[in-house]
Structure 1
Amino acid sequence: MRTVDPAKHAARRGQILDAAAGVFAVKGFEAATVAEICRAAGVGSGTLFHYFPDKATVFRAIFQEDHERILAELAALDDTDPVAGFWAIVDLLARDAAEPAAGGLVIALLGRLPMDPRLATVLVAAEEAVLARLTGFLTRLQKEGGVDPDLPAEHAARWVSSIIDGLYLRCGDPGFDAERELRTLRTVLTRFLFR
């Protein structure tokens, strides 16, 4: 019996997902074909179907892996400094806005969500974890006097998340400058929350 090398398996899977993300970003979910994903990944259809049973699973896996990475990084955050923790979450959530495929993937995601309840479940689970961590840091910052205490922490956390989501809705715009927009994001959040 042939054994599977876990590192090679993970690398090949990642190669397929990276290529698929690029194809979906350009073509959208519906117009993207398995053949195009295979060509972009440099694999045959048999290899792709060894890892993923269908195109929808490939698409879902792109976001599943991203959210698993986010959840792992959220869990590893240092809780000793709530200001640093808050900004670490903001940076974590916003850093992919500089990726060239981000704008197209967001559009593909928005088009696919109504047809894929499992995809929605992945996104909701990740969002709940993010909101819980943001709420925790904001609650501590309110107690320490650094954040407006009149704004409920959970409500503020939802606004922070929504503002970052808005950044992703714009990242595919012509002339989008990720560095400038990430600086603006920090300015907006500072003025919104901090005293």
Structure 2
Amino acid sequence: MRTVDPERHQARRQQILEAAVACFMRKGFHATRTAEICAEAGMSPGNLFHYFPTKEAIIAAIVEEDQRETAERFAAAAGAHNLYGALIAIVEESLALLADPVYTRIGLEVLAEAVRNPDVFASVARSEAGRKAQLVRLLDTAVERQQARLTMPPAQVADWILLLLDGAFGRAMVEERFDAQAYRSLVLGALAAVVVPVGEGA
């Protein structure tokens, strides 16, 4: 029985995801044919289907990749000395992504597919639940270490932060000249109403 090289497998999988993103950027999810993804990735349909049996599976993998990167950011934040500063950094990184047309376009394609496809919706819902849970843990830890004071329970503060970020994402979708830096000031100003730095976080 032939063994699978994990590194080669992951590299080929990533190659397909990057090819799919390039195709989705050009034509959108539904207008993109599997054959076009194969051509972009430089592989046969049989090879592609070995990694992803459907286009929907590719979308799910894109969501999982975003979830993994988010988890890594929160893990790094949890180990920071200044947790309030780490929280602000996460918010700023999230806003900075909105200046990336690939991030916003693919995010919109994922959300559109989630409306149509229950499996993709479930993937997005899991990702969002994980994002909120990690945010709540970071807020809880900041309070425990006396680096922040919250004006609402942690879960509500997390909802507030996510509403601000999701709202900024929505504006980035519809504003032709979206100014991420201007929204940074608005979001951080609103955040100051619910998360107050104290002690080492100040």
AA partner of residue 38 (structure 1)? C
The equivalent of 1:46 in structure 2 is 46
The equivalent of 2:191 in structure 1 is 189
Q: 1:22 to 1:184 in 2, by over 3 A?
A: farther
SS in 1 for 2:101: coil
AA partner of residue 74 (structure 2)? L
Give unpaired runs (5+ residues) of structure 2. Answer: 198-202
TM-score relative to the length of structure 1: 0.80
The equivalent of 2:171 in structure 1 is 170
Q: 1:126 to 1:59 in 2, by over 3 A?
A: closer
Matched, 1:160 2:161: yes
Mapped partners of 2:138, 2:4: distance in 1: 42
Q: 1:45 to 1:96 in 2, by over 3 A?
A: farther
Deviations 1:77-97 (A, max 9, x none): 316533033224324544432
Cα deviation, residue 115, structure 1: 2.6
RMSD: 2.8
Cα deviation, residue 160, structure 1: 0.5
Mapped partners of 1:107, 1:38: distance in 2: 23
Q: 1:178 to 1:129 in 2, by over 3 A?
A: same
Matched, 1:32 2:42: no
The equivalent of 2:130 in structure 1 is 129
Matched, 1:86 2:87: yes
SS in 2 for 1:30: coil
AA partner of residue 66 (structure 1)? D
Q: 1:4 to 1:137 in 2, by over 3 A?
A: closer
1:113-124 matched pairs, under 5 angstroms: 113-124=114-125
SS in 2 for 1:157: helix
Aligned residues: 194
Whether the 8 Å CA contact 1:83–1:141 is kept in 2: the answer is: yes
Q: 1:182 to 1:25 in 2, by over 3 A?
A: farther
TM-score relative to the length of structure 2: 0.78
Mapped partners of 1:42, 1:167: distance in 2: 36
Whether the 8 Å CA contact 1:131–1:157 is kept in 2: the answer is: yes
Mapped partners of 1:43, 1:171: distance in 2: 35
Mapped partners of 2:43, 2:172: distance in 1: 30
The equivalent of 1:21 in structure 2 is 21
AA partner of residue 176 (structure 1)? F
